[in-house]
């Protein structure tokens, strides 16, 4: 398949060897009262992309393509959360503290779950990652290799942090990556704009970008 509208030039992929990767669409980041809001962020900015993400996810499921969900999550004893991460910033609540939706960014807690609109279904891959990138200290690369995956379509939050980090990690591992611009967002719009430009600069140095409607039109007949 060829997505002709992709930037900086058409993106070619085969559905059988392409996975949809949804980064960190979890309650702690998207919903009021979660970790994102304790940092002083407007979570409504992230909520705005949910309908577009949902449309792509539903279409992708209809094709039978592989779906991967990630969650930024730590063990209950915080043994996988180094002080350099734990002590950054000045949030009202830190990782592991009790928040409105359970302990912040702890695996298994209510706030650490994917939002209901994008909740995984049986057969989809769910990766708990202790870092910003989806490949660090996770089995993701091995799972993708076993499935014969060579191309990745990215959605999720936040654009300049976990999404960009994961795309860069994927690029270094040889995957051709496409970012759906209206299916990713930041608490800081200017950061999203800069990250998108960075990723597709210099002839897709990190990957390609397109919009969800462009991809959906291509998937319509599949």
Active site residues: 24, 129, 162
3-state secondary structure of 161: helix
Distance between CA atoms of residues 103 and 98, nearest Å: 4
In this structure, the dihedral spanned by the alpha carbons of residues 74, 78, 80 and 85, taken in order and rounded to 10 degrees, is 90
Instruction: Quote the CA–CA distance of 130 and 72 in Å, as a whole number.
Output: 6
Q: Assign 84 to helix, strand or coil.
A: helix
Name 52's Cβ contacts closer than 8 Å, sequence gap at least 6: 180, 182, 183, 212
Cβ atoms of residues 211 and 3 within 8 Å = no
């Amino acid at each position: 398949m060829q997505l002709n509208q992709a930037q900086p030039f058409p993106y070619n992929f085969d559905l059988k060897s392409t996975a949809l990767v949804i980064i960190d669409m979890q309650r702690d980041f998207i919903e009021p009262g979660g970790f994102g809001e304790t940092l002083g962020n407007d979570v409504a900015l992230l909520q705005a992309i949910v309908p577009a993400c949902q449309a792509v996810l539903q279409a992708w499921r209809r094709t039978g393509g592989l779906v991967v969900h990630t969650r930024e999550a730590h063990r209950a004893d915080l043994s996988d959360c180094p002080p350099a991460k734990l002590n950054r910033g000045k949030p009202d609540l830190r990782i592991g503290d009790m928040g409105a939706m359970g302990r912040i960014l702890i695996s298994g807690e209510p706030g650490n779950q994917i939002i209901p609109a994008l909740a995984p279904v049986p057969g989809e891959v769910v990766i708990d990652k202790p870092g910003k990138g989806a490949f660090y200290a996770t089995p993701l690369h091995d799972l993708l290799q076993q499935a014969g995956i060579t191309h990745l379509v990215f959605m999720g939050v936040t654009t300049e942090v976990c999404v960009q980090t994961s795309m860069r990690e994927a690029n270094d591992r040889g995957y051709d990556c496409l970012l759906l611009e209206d299916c990713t967002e930041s608490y800081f719009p200017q950061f999203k704009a800069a990250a998108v430009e960075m990723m597709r600069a210099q002839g897709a140095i990190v990957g390609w970008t397109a919009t969800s409607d462009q991809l959906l039109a291509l998937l319509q007949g599949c």
